Amino acid sequence: METQNVKIINCDPSALGLFGLAMVTLVASSQKLGITSGTSFIIPWAIFLGGFAQLFACINDSKRNNVLGTTTFGGFALFWFAVATSWMIKNGVFGETMAATLDGIQLGFAFAGYVIFALFLTLGFATTNKVLFIDFIFIDLLLIGLALNSFGIMPEFSHYLAGYSELAVSLISFYGFGATVLNQHFGKVLFPVGKPLITIKR
């Protein structure tokens, strides 16, 4: 009796994850930078692009045995689900009682936790390519700005640090998305992403 091993090959899901990140940060940064106001129309993009697109990338990266990609996309999918829910609480979707008992410092602790999360991931992405590493530097700055602002530390500076960092994350993620899709589609490097910043032998 012969035994056959079937190998299922999935395509790289990181392009969709990067596109989701690019879209939600573009929309959210417009509010932080005062170009738009309110969060009502950011919430759908946070849920579907920030949340579900990155969750899809997470699940499919896990099938490729990519621990770094799975953890990153999964962690930030949950981040955007939580942020969208926080905005809905603030907007009174879950009732006036919840909206009246908000404590922004709790968000500060949540963002601080994500700073720790992102710093570990930044080290991991230093071994991938320069585009993803630079993207994560700005993600770190975004989260630091959000944490400081939620704690009421240098509120104006931290607000704009978060806003401009978020815009940078969006633009770099758009480039990373385009490079991932088109470089693989054409089978050659049209959009360079740079060599790894550091190389660690296993």
Convert 8-43 to b/e letters by CB count within 10 Å (16 or more is b).
Answer: eeeebbbbbbbbbbbbbbbbbbbbbeeeeeebeebb
Asked if residue 162 lies in contact with residue 133, where contact means CB atoms within 8 angstroms, the answer is no
Asked if residue 81 lies in contact with residue 45, where contact means CB atoms within 8 angstroms, the answer is no
pLDDT for 10 = 79
- What is the Cα–Cα distance from 155 to 150, expressed in whole angstroms? 8
* Burial class (CB within 10 angstroms; exposed 0-12, middle 13-18, buried 19+) of 69: buried
Q: Which residues contact 43 (CB under 8 A, 6 or more apart)?
A: 84, 87, 88
pLDDT band at 43 (very low <50, low <70, confident <90, very high): very high
Closest by CA to 131, choosing from 197, 81, 32, is 197
Please give the average per-residue pLDDT across 26-45, as a whole number.
Answer: 97
> pLDDT (tens digit, 9 = 90+) per residue, 102-130?
999 999 999 999 999 999 999 999 999 99
**Within 13 Å, how many C-alpha atoms sit on residue 55's CB side?**
12
pLDDT for 158 = 98
pLDDT band at 1 (very low <50, low <70, confident <90, very high): low
Find the distance separating the first CA and the last CA of the chain, reported in whole Å: 38
Asked if residue 58 lies in contact with residue 73, where contact means CB atoms within 8 angstroms, the answer is yes
> pLDDT (tens digit, 9 = 90+) per residue, 66-109?
999 999 999 999 999 999 999 999 999 999 999 999 999 999 99
Average pLDDT score, the chain: 95
pLDDT band at 27 (very low <50, low <70, confident <90, very high): very high
Please give the average per-residue pLDDT across 157-174, as a whole number.
Answer: 98
Asked if residue 12 lies in contact with residue 46, where contact means CB atoms within 8 angstroms, the answer is no
